[in-house]
Amino acid sequence: ARSLVWFRSDLRIADNTALAAAARRGTVVAVFLRSLPHWQRHGHGANKLDFWHRGVVALSEALAGIGIPLLHRDIDDFDEAPAQLLTIAREIGASALHFNREYALDEQRRDHAVVDAFRQAGLQASGHHDSVAYAPGELLTGKGDFYAVFTPFARAWHRRLSAAQLALRDTPEPQAPLPLSADPIPPLPKPAQAQAGARQWPAGETAAADRLERFLRFRVRHYADQRDFPAVAGTSELSPYLALGMISHRQCLQAALGENDGSLAEGDAGIVSWVSELIWREFYQHVAAGFPRVCRHRAFQRHTEALAWRDSEDDFAAWCEGRTGYPIVDAAMRQLVRRGWMHNRLRMVAAMFLSKHLLIDWRRGEAFFMRHLVDGEFCANNGGWQWAASTGTDAAPYFRIFNPTTQSRRFDPEGRFLAEYLPELAGLAPRDRHAPSDTQRASTGYPLPIVDHKAARARALAAFKALPPSH
């Protein structure tokens, strides 16, 4: 039998559940549907689209290596997906469609429409569970609810994990050539082109595998101690690859197991801590599936919908452009814009600064991040923003507001990260870079703080205290 495999954000041939299932049944033809208008409407920026594009090119080459042609179609919107896929299936004589499921609301709707259309046409369509260890709904609290708190989720995740969940799916054996050639991947139109720094992320599963290997060889043992220091390359920087499926969570977890005597829950502190971050990724996918209101721009904690966010275009622009006068926030924002990536510690600091110090709606920050991140992924981004804004699952309590200057001294003690992204401050003594004096600001051209930490903190606390009770 012949199957069509629809690739989306699972751009790899190794350990791919849908691809492996299709290859077991017979010959395979692959397809990628690209809807730039849809992705742009959903806030994906040029950096991610460029990385995605390069990932599809790499996927096409990898598939060609095992005799599978990748077809490519540009569509205006995913409403067209059912008809497009059916047409292709008929043209190539495929009796089944396989794809890996995605759990945010829009993606689930898109996939249901495709499955319905195939069933009505008398063809098979199978959505496989692939992106995280447990399908949403498989891991529930004792009361049968989705978890809204990370720690018990992680405990249950470890307790119930089986070897089968982590078993790598077979990479298909090369198939005999088909009388069908792969489509060339059309380049992105000019306006969609990415920042130079964002283009430096090499795309594809080989690049991802190299990165994982280097991380395990050189960084993971120090991960627990170094992961919070943005001047140190202490984390895996695998997020863009995980977000587009150029590497799978199973490949990451298997590699971690191999380095840690077969355990994910105890043993080497670096590995255990890294695995915990991978579980955060899974947690937020479950949150999006279990509480779909978060996919509709709603706060997880309903009572926070009443919060009186400030409208200040000037403050928002200062934050976006890295000129708030708080060096750690500004350096973070410049890293985001320049590299299409920001260190996790800084994502927390920058997001909290926007939502608490500036009291600007977290949704604006979420959208700005999405527009610049190479690793922009709805569930993690939304989860991180709602955490910082104290509107989410297991969020930071509203009264715990980071002092950006303290964070800066603690996590960039030598001011190295600040000097890298704020060259105007590099001439100051490291200890002065965290909060330059007015004279130093005047002489370096670095702006004065746009808000005073204490006053801003008091304003945020008052806004949260004015909310109706949560239950």
Q: Residues forming the annotated binding site for FAD?
A: 223, 235-239, 274, 277-284
Rounded Cα gap, residues 132 and 129, in angstroms: 8
Rounded Cα gap, residues 101 and 99, in angstroms: 6
Report in angstroms how near the CB of residue 416 gets to ligand FAD at its nearest.
Answer: 18
Token pair for residue 9? Answer: 């954000």
Instruction: Please pick, among 80, 107, 277, 424, the residue that the annotation labels catalytic.
Output: 277
Active site residue 385: yes
Nearest to 295, CA basis, from 108, 125, 437: 108
Tokens 């995980």, residue? 242
> From residue 466, how far is each of 106, 137, 215, 358, 459 by CA, in Å?
34, 35, 46, 17, 11
Q: What is the Cα gyration radius of the chain?
A: 23
Report in angstroms how near the CB of residue 11 gets to ligand FAD at its nearest.
Answer: 15
Residue with nearest beta carbon to ligand FAD: 384
Q: Is 120 exposed, middle or buried (CB count within 10 Å of its CB: 0-12, 13-18, 19+)?
A: exposed
Instruction: Please pick, among 344, 403, 420, 424, the residue that the annotation labels catalytic.
Output: 344
Active site residue 309: yes
Helix axes 249-259, 269-290, angle to 10 degrees: 160
Rounded Cα gap, residues 23 and 299, in angstroms: 42
Q: Which is nearer to ligand FAD, 339 or 453 (CB)?
A: 339
SS3 state at 262: coil
Active site residue 341: no
Nearest to 368, CA basis, from 39, 41, 48, 44: 44
Instruction: Please pick, among 157, 280, 319, 341, the residue that the annotation labels catalytic.
Output: 280
Report in angstroms how near the CB of residue 339 gets to ligand FAD at its nearest.
Answer: 11
Q: Is 454 exposed, middle or buried (CB count within 10 Å of its CB: 0-12, 13-18, 19+)?
A: exposed
Rounded Cα gap, residues 24 and 19, in angstroms: 9
Q: Which is nearer to ligand FAD, 187 or 258 (CB)?
A: 258
Q: Which is nearer to ligand FAD, 2 or 410 (CB)?
A: 410
Q: Which is nearer to ligand FAD, 97 or 288 (CB)?
A: 288
> From residue 289, how far is each of 95, 101, 155, 270, 334 by CA, in Å?
29, 11, 19, 30, 32
Rounded Cα gap, residues 352 and 400, in angstroms: 10
Q: Which is nearer to ligand FAD, 22 or 294 (CB)?
A: 294
Rounded Cα gap, residues 428 and 422, in angstroms: 11
Q: Where do contacts with ligand FAD occur on this chain (CB under 6 A)?
A: 227, 235-239, 242-243, 277-278, 280-281, 284, 344, 347-348, 351, 369, 373, 375-377, 380-381, 383-385, 388
Rounded Cα gap, residues 78 and 32, in angstroms: 12
Q: Residue 3: in which H helix or E strand, if any?
A: strand 2-7
Rounded Cα gap, residues 35 and 42, in angstroms: 11
Report in angstroms how near the CB of residue 42 gets to ligand FAD at its nearest.
Answer: 13
Instruction: Please pick, among 107, 259, 309, 403, the residue that the annotation labels catalytic.
Output: 309
Q: What is the DSSP letter of 408?
A: H
Q: Which is nearer to ligand FAD, 101 or 347 (CB)?
A: 347
Report in angstroms how near the CB of residue 373 gets to ligand FAD at its nearest.
Answer: 5
Contacts of 123 (CB under 8 A, 6+ apart): 86, 89, 94, 95, 96, 97
Report in angstroms how near the CB of residue 348 gets to ligand FAD at its nearest.
Answer: 5
Q: Which is nearer to ligand FAD, 10 or 172 (CB)?
A: 10
Report in angstroms how near the CB of residue 292 gets to ligand FAD at its nearest.
Answer: 18
Active site residue 362: yes
Q: Residue 253: in which H helix or E strand, if any?
A: helix 249-259
Report in angstroms how near the CB of residue 243 gets to ligand FAD at its nearest.
Answer: 5
Q: Which is nearer to ligand FAD, 46 or 278 (CB)?
A: 278
Token pair for residue 401? Answer: 């507001």
- Give the active site residues: 277, 280, 309, 344, 362, 385
